[in-house]
């Protein structure tokens, strides 16, 4: 589970436990049992203020959950945009990669033909409703894959040793001061 969602779940459980009906009833009964009007009023005010504060906290937790879930959801407009603009680009890239590696273009086309129907508004919506997170399942690995591809194609800079930057005019690694 996402660490942010775990934190929200812990906060929600803590607030819910603190405000069970039995717990509040016990506190009210204890306050009334003292038979001191001023103390009872003060205790009841404290209970009410606590409940109002906890309600505010619950609203904040609900909003945080909503923000987290909205961030994971892909809208119908986004899906349409991806299928009309991104899929053709991916098709070109896969075909180009297959051609440059001397691979059969049919295999690449078969892969595209398998993936393309998954990017319909209906399919993506159904999968999201049952809990599939496209951004995590596809976006993050795709980002990592592209990063590795770029790094594998980059020529190493002989002036860089390890993670160190080349020395500048002042003899220190870093910016050249231009």
Which stretches of the chain score pLDDT less than 50? Answer: 172-178
Q: What is the pLDDT of residues 56-98, one digit of tens each?
A: 888 998 888 888 777 778 888 888 888 788 778 877 877 777 7
pLDDT more than 90, % of the chain: 0
Tell me whether residue 60 is in a domain.
Answer: yes
* Distance, CA of 137 to CA of 142 (rounded, Å): 9
The phi and psi torsions of 40 (rounded to 5 degrees) equal -65, -45
The Cβ of residue 147 has, within 10 Å, a number of other Cβ atoms equal to 10
Residues 44 and 95 in one domain: no
pLDDT given at position 175? 46
Range of the domain at 64: 3-72
* Distance, CA of 115 to CA of 109 (rounded, Å): 10
Residues 109 and 134 in one domain: yes
Q: Which residues of 32-60 are buried (b: 16+ CB within 10 A; e: fewer)?
A: eeeeeeeebeebeeebeeeeeeeeebeee
């Amino acid at each position: 589970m996402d660490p942010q969602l775990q934190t929200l779940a812990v906060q929600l459980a803590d607030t819910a436990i603190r405000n069970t009906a039995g717990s509040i009833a016990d506190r009210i009964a204890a306050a009334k049992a003292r038979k001191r009007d001023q103390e009872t009023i003060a205790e009841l005010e404290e209970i009410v203020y606590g409940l109002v504060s906890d309600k505010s906290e619950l609203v904040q937790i609900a909003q945080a959950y909503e923000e987290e879930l909205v961030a994971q959801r892909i809208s119908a407009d986004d899906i349409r945009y991806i299928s009309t603009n991104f899929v053709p680009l991916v098709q070109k890239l896969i075909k180009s990669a297959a051609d440059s590696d001397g691979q059969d273009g049919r295999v690449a086309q078969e892969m595209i033909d398998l993936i393309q129907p998954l990017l319909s508004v209906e399919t993506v919506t159904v999968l999201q409703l049952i809990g599939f997170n496209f951004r995590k399942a596809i976006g993050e690995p795709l980002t990592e894959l592209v990063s590795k591809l770029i790094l594998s194609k980059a020529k190493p800079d002989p002036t860089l040793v390890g993670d160190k930057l080349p020395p500048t005019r002042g003899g220190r690694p870093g910016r050249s001061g231009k």
